[in-house]
Amino acid sequence: MSDDFRTRARSWLEANAPRRRAADEDEDASPVTLADQKAFQAKLYDAGFAGITWPREYGGQGLTGLEQIAWSLETRDFDLPNGAFFIGLSMPGNTILEVGSEAQKKRYLPPMLRGDEIWCQLFSEPGAGSDVASLQTSALRDGDEWVLNGQKVWTSGAQFSDYGAILARTDPTKPKHNGISMFIVDMHAPGVTVRPLKVATGHSPFNEVFFDNVRMPGDALIGEENKGWDAAVVMLRHERIAIGTMGGFRTNPLGYESLRDVAAGLGRTGEPGTRRRLAELYARQRATGLFATLLREEAQVGRMPGARGSVAKLAGSDLGRFAGNVAEDVLGDQLAAYDSDEIAAVATMIVAAPGNAIAGGTSEIQRNIIGERVLGLAKDPGVDRSTPFNQLRVGTQRQN
């Protein structure tokens, strides 16, 4: 990779992107609107920094993983206002690039990169989370078209998405992995209903999406019919990589720096127990960051992280839980009730921590992946791989 790219990236970011705020700076009063995000993504595209590794014929830059890593490193100091495109580009985008048809690549990838169209990912269902292959949303052929019925859940960005990559069952007589297909669904089509999903923190970062006789054209299929699981595996791999390389938040209220300041403010940094807890948090937090750095360094010399991305995700979730415990030690009863923003932020993060161990693949699934694909242990024994889906118990169905 030429240093030119990195220099060019740095100077463009300096001129066009807001810097990350430090913990003690005030929050910016004006929230970033969707229009702002679209405008920023278009600027990024025009400057030649969108789709760095994607081929030129689909609007990409045709560069290598080295330029992609250089870009990630340079952007760490900036707060890019294009989060609405994160999911689309890293998951459905990369999947269409790998397994989509030529017509799909030409039609959908350039507008995605330019910021004209926003995408979401529709996998999880109320009855199919960790075991997403047991999904029940169905797509049935009707002439040249497909008819979609069912419910998806935990969909980020569905409320402002133009398209979604959705998994649906196309043959319930086959074993569960062999009767699924992946489609492109128009989120503005009649029969699509998006409802915000309120979570334990009281916020609504996700949606539920309902499909009621939604018609999809014949060419909406990504990859082959009943081969949707293969496409899903591709997308899940991209999801783990995207999550694993997101980088930490420098202003985390549950971070060592924040909790140390809180402890100092409460006059507790002289207590041996508190000092030890904070020191251990420092060590764990730092090691989690160092491991991500190590994975990046390995990728730079061509050793891809593969399933070790799951180690990074598991470590991040565990760190959140540990930090919550430290915060409880540091704050004591001051955490039970509060009227300060500082403590409210800590409490919200503790309440949110279990979500990180569920979203993007639960910690239990990550441990399966680490055990099977990093350590090479045998797969779980199970009846679900060979039984026709319509004879399988799924979700919370009672046995008849």
Partner 1 sequence: MALILTSEEQALADSVRRFVADRSPLTSLRHLMAAGEPYDADVWKQMTAQLGLAGLTIPESYGGVGAGYSALSVALTELGAGLVASPLLANLLAAEVLLRLEDTEASDDLLPKIAGGELIATLATASQAGGRVTASGSPIGATLTGTVSPVLNGAEASVLIVPAEADGVTGLYLVDAGADGPTATRLTAVDHSRSLARITLDGTPARELAGDAVAALAAAQDLANLALASESAGAMKACLDMTSNYAKIRVAFGQPIGAFQAVKHRLADMEKSWELGYAAVRDAARAGDAEPGRFPAAATAARVLLAPAYADAAVDTVQLHGGIGFTWEHDAHLYYKNGMSNKVLLGGPGDQLDRLADLLGI
CB of 296 to partner 1, least distance (A): 9
Binding residue (CB under 8 A) for partner 1 from 7, 33, 204, 293: 293
Minimum separation from the CB atom of position 345 to partner 1 (A)? 21
370 binds partner 1 (CB under 8 A): yes
Long-range contacts, 33-40 (Cβ 8 Å, 24+): 34/84, 34/160, 36/81, 37/81, 37/82, 37/83, 37/84, 37/85, 37/115, 38/84, 38/115, 38/116, 39/115, 40/16, 40/80, 40/81, 40/82, 40/115
Position among 284, 354, 362, 394 found at the interface with partner 1 (CB under 8 A): 284
Determine the interface stretch with partner 1 among 113-121, 188-196, 206-214, 283-291 (rule: CB under 8 A): 283-291
Is 304 among the residues that bind partner 1 (CB under 8 A)?
no
| Nearest of 48, 54, 39 to residue 12 by alpha carbon | 48
User: Is residue 231 within 8 Å of residue 223, measured between CB atoms?
Assistant: yes
Taking the least distance from each CB to partner 1, the nearer of 202 and 302 is 302
Q: Which residues make beta-bridge pairs with 138? A: 149, 169
Cα separation of 62 and 55, whole Å? 4
Which residues are tagged catalytic? 239
380 in contact with partner 1 (CB under 8 A): yes
291 makes contact with partner 1 (CB under 8 A): yes
CB of 201 closer than 8 Å to CB of 351: yes
Smallest separation, CB 309 to partner 1 (Å): 11
Q: Does position 368 bind partner 1 by CB under 8 A?
A: yes
With CB under 8 A as the contact rule, the residue among 30, 381, 396, 398 that binds partner 1 is 381
Instruction: Look up tokens 């360094």; give the residue.
Output: 297
Q: At what angle do helices 65-75 and 3-16 cross, to 10 degrees?
A: 30
Q: Which residues 6+ apart lie within 8 Å of 23 measured at CB?
A: 250, 251, 257, 258
Interface region with partner 1, contact rule CB under 8 A, candidates 59-67, 192-200, 216-224, 277-285? 277-285
155 contacts 208 by C-beta, under 8 angstroms: yes
Nearer to partner 1, 33 or 293 (CB): 293
48, 111, 371, 388: which one contacts partner 1 (CB under 8 A)? 371
Q: Which one-letter DSSP state was computed for residue 125? A: B
Nearer to partner 1, 35 or 301 (CB): 301
Residues within the interface to partner 1 (CB under 8 A): 260, 263, 269, 272, 275-276, 278-280, 282-284, 286-288, 290-291, 293-294, 297-298, 301, 308, 311, 314-315, 318, 364, 366-368, 370-372, 374-381
